Chains A and B, each alone.
Chain A
Amino acid sequence: MKLKGWKELTPGAVCTEAGSALKFKTGSWRASRPKFIEENCIQCLFCWIYCPDMAVKVKDGKVTGFDYDYCKGCGICALECPGKKGNKAIVMEGEGK
């Protein structure tokens, strides 16, 4: 990414593009990744509310998977997942599997 010269900067370093952090993909930080096992999902949405990186994809009130562009692999979702009858809907597996 080419760095800007001083003439191209915004006055006072003000960021004028809201949400521009989306250009920074934190997915590369992962050492492990969450795997979605849909049949065990009760759609409680705990994973969605507890994710620090807003990386759980939800459509029409239903979890559809993970946004691996940003997921840092913290594992909160997997730990908090209640699952169905003792079987988790999210398990962590090593990155690069």
Chain B
Amino acid sequence: MATPSGITLKELSKKEGLLTSGHRLCAGCGAPIVVKMVLLAAEGPIVAANATGCLEVSTCISDFTAWKIPWIHNAFENAAATISGVETMYRSLKKQGKISKDIKFIAFGGDGGTYDIGFQSLSGAMERGHDMLYVCYDNGAYMNTGIQRSSATPFGADTTTCPAGSVIQGKPQQRKNLTKIMAAHDIPYAAQASPSHWMDLVKKVKKALSITGPKFINILSPCNRGWRSRTDDAIMLSRLGVETCYWPLYEIENGVTKVTFKPKEKKPLVDFLKPQGRFKHLFAPENEGMLKQAQEVVDKEWESLLKASGTE
């Protein structure tokens, strides 16, 4: 299938896979799909840093590593600070004539290590202007430690620290809009992507890596354990996330917003929520107000993106 951009799955399939099989992420996990796509999009050498979490812990255990690129895990809250150090050493050695190759730097972190505990070091790295790409694989909770809520957890979701009970019905707060917060750092590129829309994701990663400076891409990463969904529906759910505009696909390049995918038919949010057990309680009649509230927030954000993008 020829595409205007010249990017085809056939061409991508000829590339060497830089994340190997044999990792111990759950069957059907969204994270390795996200990482695979990001690494396929890259042209040229990559060095990566990884925050503690599912991805890190399952891809490098003892002397088994699924990474075929140089990779460093330091601690939970400092993937951005760690890659800042690697990138700075690269610049120093390049200036001294000790390195000549062009290397790109990518930090991977889950929503835990990015929105919450890693927020400070991410903000610092973005503000300092390091030439790096930060990729957040957002599965909406601290999954590795057992599905505890994060600031990325959707409104009303049942997690192990805000379970749906008789007094409290899941997470009372709305999600933090990290993508916009990153864009507010005036970085040259911030975007949202989804593995279901692989071409959009690959294009965004390619664009980001071609820009010098700090870049941020937030990628929806379904977790069938935490979302209480099926092992085979990661792509289906991420597609629904996009089509319901729960997870809009857009980019903010030098302050200019552009929606990169407009669903032909905007589906109601419940289409995304229904297949997930973590939202089951929201379908009880007494929680109708919560569903309405959730839909309103999604609509408001989508409207504001369309307006900013000039594509009403």
Q: State if A and B touch, Cβ cutoff 8 Å.
A: yes
Interface string of B43-63 (1 = CB under 8 A from A): 000000000000000011001
Chain B, interface size category, equals: 35 or more
- With beta carbons under 8 angstroms apart, the residue of A53, A58, A70 that contacts B13 is A58
Instruction: Give Cα A66–Cα B185 distance, bound, in whole angstroms.
Output: 44
With A15-B60, A58-B13, A74-B28 already in contact, the answer to whether A79 and B236 are too (CB < 8 A) is yes
Interface string of B252-281 (1 = CB under 8 A from A): 000000000000000000000000000000
Interface flag for B120 (CB, 8 Å): no
Query: Shortest distance in angstroms between A88's beta carbon and chain B's nearest beta carbon?
Result: 12
- B232 lies within 8 A of A79 (CB): yes
Interface string of B65-100 (1 = CB under 8 A from A): 111110000000000000000000000000000000
Interface flag for B101 (CB, 8 Å): no
Instruction: Give Cα A51–Cα B230 distance, bound, in whole angstroms.
Output: 15
Interface flag for B300 (CB, 8 Å): no
Chain A, interface size category, equals: 35 or more
CB-CB < 8 A to B29: which residues of A? 52
- B9 lies within 8 A of A21 (CB): no
- Number of interchain pairs (Cβ within 8 Å): 121
Query: Shortest distance in angstroms between B273's beta carbon and chain A's nearest beta carbon?
Result: 19
- With beta carbons under 8 angstroms apart, the residue of B10, B19, B230, B234 that contacts A54 is B19
- A49 lies within 8 A of B23 (CB): no
With A22-B22, A75-B232, A79-B236 already in contact, the answer to whether A52 and B30 are too (CB < 8 A) is yes
CB-CB < 8 A to B32: which residues of A? 52-54
CB-CB < 8 A to B66: which residues of A? 19, 21
- B9 lies within 8 A of A46 (CB): yes
Query: Which chain A residue shows the least CB distance to B29?
Result: A52
Interface flag for B173 (CB, 8 Å): no
With A20-B65, A75-B232 already in contact, the answer to whether A45 and B13 are too (CB < 8 A) is yes
- B64 lies within 8 A of A49 (CB): no
Interface string of B1-26 (1 = CB under 8 A from A): 10000000111111001011111111
A-B contact pairs, 20 of them (CB 8 A): A17-B63, A19-B65, A19-B68, A20-B63, A24-B22, A45-B13, A49-B198, A52-B29, A52-B36, A53-B21, A53-B23, A53-B27, A54-B32, A58-B13, A61-B13, A61-B14, A69-B21, A74-B232, A76-B232, A80-B235
In the complex, given contacts A15-B63, A48-B13, A74-B27, what are 10 additional A-B residue pairs having Cβ atoms less than 8 angstroms apart?
A22-B21, A26-B21, A26-B23, A52-B25, A52-B32, A54-B36, A61-B10, A75-B231, A76-B231, A80-B236
